[in-house]
Amino acid sequence: MKRSRRVEAKNRSVTRYTRAVPMRRVMRGVPMGRRARGVERRDPPFVPPEDWHEPQADHQGYRIVVQDPGPGFRHILTPDEIHRRLAQLPAQMVEPLQVVQLSRMTRKKCTAPCYGMQWGPSIYLYPIEESLVETFSKPPSPAQRIEAKMFGGRWRQYGSTWKLHWTEAAVKDFYLNNVLIHELGHLLDSRNGGYTDRERYAEWFAIEYGYRRSSRLARRRKPAKRRHHSL
């Protein structure tokens, strides 16, 4: 069934949060990190259920599970792109990861949409609209404007509705160098237990091992060619 844009804009507030517990407390039913769409808040709402992948003590590498994205949605990354990006990281950072799941968007998940979630040794990446335009009922925070600009996203206001526009290259950069790396940071964080500390670590990890390696930043750093005129 096609979703109503009016309902979508009404229900999708601009929220960004992480629900976190220490790695030593990983158990079924305890989500650890979640990369929602929007600004930070301390009391995250309902977390949509996900497929639980039982941790394997003798696992060799990680596997990628691909679900149908759902009507009107599309996955941003392919398994090959995920493999190539994670291969650029030190092996010890990727070793604890067991599953990357490209999850399906459902009506229930639309009530609390997010880009990614980390749960136990698994990372879940969520699809976005096929149009690459996200609709929100509340304006973005200054921090969210800055983050979108870092990766090439553009916020625009249409009356009381706000939309985040992505290009193909920009949204891939965002998922590869922000969402994926942010969630991996949560998975590796076995020291912090509180929300603020865990979120601070994941944000630092995403900047250090994600944004600083992004193609967009590399283009900004490219020195300008000087033209020399001969007399």
pLDDT in tens, 152-174: 999 999 999 999 999 999 999 99
Strands 63-66 and 114-119, bridge-based pairing: unpaired
Compute the distance between CA of residue 176 and CA of residue 229 in angstroms, rounded to an integer.
42
User: Sheet harboring 99-102: ordered strands across?
Assistant: 33-36, 114-119, 122-125, 99-102, 63-66
CB 37 within 8 A of CB 135: no
* Tens digit of each residue's pLDDT, the chain (231 residues): 333 333 344 344 443 333 333 333 333 334 456 556 543 444 444 454 688 898 988 889 999 999 999 999 999 999 999 999 999 999 999 999 999 999 999 888 877 778 999 999 999 999 999 999 999 999 999 989 999 999 999 999 999 999 999 999 999 999 999 999 999 999 999 899 888 999 999 999 999 999 998 766 555 545 545 444 444
> Alpha-carbon distance 15 to 46, whole Å?
12
Instruction: Write down the pLDDT at residue 113.
Output: 78
In the DSSP assignment, the letter for residue 188 is: H
pTM higher than the cut 0.85: no
Question: What pLDDT is recorded for position 112?
Answer: 74
Task: Name the token pair of 181.
Answer: 């790396």
Alpha helix (H) residue ranges in the chain: 5-11, 79-87, 91-94, 142-150, 168-174, 180-188, 195-209, 215-221
Tell me what pLDDT residue 102 has.
98
Instruction: List, in order, residues 6 or more apart from 10 with CB less than 8 Å away.
Output: 137
Whole-number Cα distances in Å, 99 to 12, 65, 145:
28, 7, 31
List, for residues 185-208, the tens digit of each pLDDT value: 999 998 998 889 999 999 999 999
Rounded-to-integer distance, Cα 21 and Cα 198, Å = 8
Q: What is the model's pLDDT at position 5? A: 36
